[in-house]
Structure 1
Amino acid sequence: MRKEDITENLNRVRERIVTACAESGRDPQSVTLLAVSKTRPAGDLRVACAAGQRDFGENYLQEALEKQAQLSDLPIVWHFIGPLQSNKTRAVAEHFDWMHSVDRLKIAQRLSAQRPAGLAPLNICLQVNIDAEQSKSGAPPAEVAALAQAVAALPNLRLRGLMAIPAPRPDPALQCQPFERMAALLQDLREQLPEQPLDTLSMGMSADMAAAIAGGATIVRIGTDIFGARQ
């Protein structure tokens, strides 16, 4: 994709965030744009960074590590947003700022134990299977509170909130439903864990971003509308 296209796409997505926030009575500064850069070459990320983008989300660990090495001169905040096998936790603990897809305690325990002492605590979101889809990862909503309690007690991690990938809903009127359930889950956690900085709802992608913002998203994960369709 041409450099100008990525820059233009980024600006259009930012305008959509501003519009969605205005419609929901929210401050646009309360929503972080996370550029989902899986399968994209490092050069595309460099272009996006030059256009002011700082937060990038990666799904594939080895690919992400290669890009991090190529882009080490840039002030990028790295988010891991894909499913993670327990034998790959060390690389995430050592090289990322955020981990969005923790859905079981074993993964969190390994991330905590393997986080280098010289780094800030790893920011953690718990992935919730909000629509009970068999094909998706995530803790069932009924188990989120217990998982959050256990993760919050681990050193070297900072529990920030929740993440979800709801089932697709073409009808905009229905898109808000899972996001509203996620917001209610997070509010319940805030009451149970008042000492934790539970300020994050990572939800919403290109097709349902406006509904996610209306539902309280603080991080929206956008790939196609920035970088174009994946090859």
Structure 2
Amino acid sequence: MTIAENIARIRENMAAAAREAGRDPKEILLVGASKMNDAAACRAAIAAGIDALGENRVQEMVQKLEEHAYDGAPLHFIGHLQRNKVKQVVGHVALIQSVGSLELLDEIEKVAAARDLVQDILLEVNIGREAAKSGFAPEQVLTGAETALERAHVRVRGLMTIPPADADRDANFRYFQEVQALYVDMDQKLFHNKLEYLSMGMSGDYEDAIRAGATMVRVGSAIFGARHYN
């Protein structure tokens, strides 16, 4: 199947999952996780109406920016972001989805202030409390959001999470529900119900994420095909 056909099929699945949950399919955005896919694949996804493209690796993102791979669609950074790479990302993407520490938050603030811009971000939640994974623990999310509100050059738009890879489907769904509850709580307490983005779900679980309340899903291999690592 072509990239366009894959996107059409995923849109149908997204709409069905939304309707099951009594939701409007139009409120859910599809982000194409384009890691290890070339500029032509990115352009094909844009032509097929992808809502945004998301990159995991700074070096790959910079190269594809030079190739104008993302022209016509918002670009998100969705991978682990090291503080020494922040300068290469801030101002070049519409949304940094993976802000998982106060140190990274402050580095983004510093770079954005120097460039006189406001960088939109999502706070990443380490919902499985995995030692090897970045992200705020659930009980730290409000503190992270409060700290961000004190910064003039970052703007929190919501939350992002990736459940543990070894979670079964039921556990995965519970993780999604927990993050959705955190999102609602944070939105009500700090943001006057104005948050927009709850980014949950990837190729294998985006439908369950939508049933649990996701407003944004990050889909890679189901759009672009299996990745082949060197």
TM-score (norm: length of structure 1): 0.92
| Corresponding residue for residue 204 of structure 2 | 207
Deviations 1:157-181 (A, max 9, x none): 1101111000246754443200110
Q: Does 1:27 align with 2:35?
A: no
Deviations 1:50-99 (A, max 9, x none): 11124000010011011112126822201001111111111111311100
| Corresponding residue for residue 156 of structure 1 | 153
Choose which of 93, 107, 112 in structure 1 pairs with 2:109.
112
| Corresponding residue for residue 189 of structure 2 | 192
Name the amino acid aligned to 1:40. Answer: N
Deviations 1:186-210 (A, max 9, x none): 1221232135732211110111111
CA–CA distance in structure 1, aligned partners of residues 64 and 191 of structure 2: 37
Choose which of 3, 6, 27 in structure 1 pairs with 2:3.
6
Name the amino acid aligned to 1:218. Answer: T
Show the 5 A alignment for 1:83-98. Answer: 83-98=80-95
Q: Check 1:148–1:170 CA distance in 2 against 1; reply closer, same or farther (3 A cut).
A: closer
The secondary structure found in structure 2 opposite 1:154 is coil
Asked whether the 8 Å contact 2:43–2:69 carries over to 1, the reply is no
Mind listing any 5+ residue stretches in structure 1 that lack a counterpart?
Answer: none
Asked whether the 8 Å contact 1:93–1:112 carries over to 2, the reply is no
Name the amino acid aligned to 1:20. Answer: A
Asked whether the 8 Å contact 2:176–2:200 carries over to 1, the reply is yes
Deviations 1:110-159 (A, max 9, x none): 21221232x5x221111111011222211111111111100122112110
CA–CA distance in structure 1, aligned partners of residues 16 and 166 of structure 2: 21
Name the amino acid aligned to 1:126. Answer: L
TM-score (norm: length of structure 2): 0.92
Asked whether the 8 Å contact 2:14–2:207 carries over to 1, the reply is yes
Show the 5 A alignment for 1:66-77. Answer: 66-71=63-68, 74-77=71-74
Q: How many corresponding residue pairs?
A: 226
CA–CA distance in structure 1, aligned partners of residues 34 and 70 of structure 2: 17
Mind listing any 5+ residue stretches in structure 2 that lack a counterpart?
Answer: none
Show the 5 A alignment for 1:167-182. Answer: 167-168=164-165, 171-182=168-179
CA–CA distance in structure 2, aligned partners of residues 112 and 85 of structure 1: 14
CA–CA distance in structure 1, aligned partners of residues 29 and 51 of structure 2: 10
CA–CA distance in structure 1, aligned partners of residues 70 and 166 of structure 2: 40
Asked whether the 8 Å contact 1:159–1:197 carries over to 2, the reply is no
The secondary structure found in structure 1 opposite 2:76 is strand
Q: Check 1:54–1:212 CA distance in 2 against 1; reply closer, same or farther (3 A cut).
A: closer
The secondary structure found in structure 2 opposite 1:93 is coil
| Corresponding residue for residue 99 of structure 1 | 96
CA–CA distance in structure 2, aligned partners of residues 194 and 50 of structure 1: 34
RMSD between superposed Cα atoms in Å: 1.7
Moved more, 14-23 or 65-74: 65-74
Name the amino acid aligned to 1:155. Answer: A
Q: Does 1:43 align with 2:44?
A: no
CA–CA distance in structure 1, aligned partners of residues 156 and 70 of structure 2: 28
Q: Percent identity?
A: 38
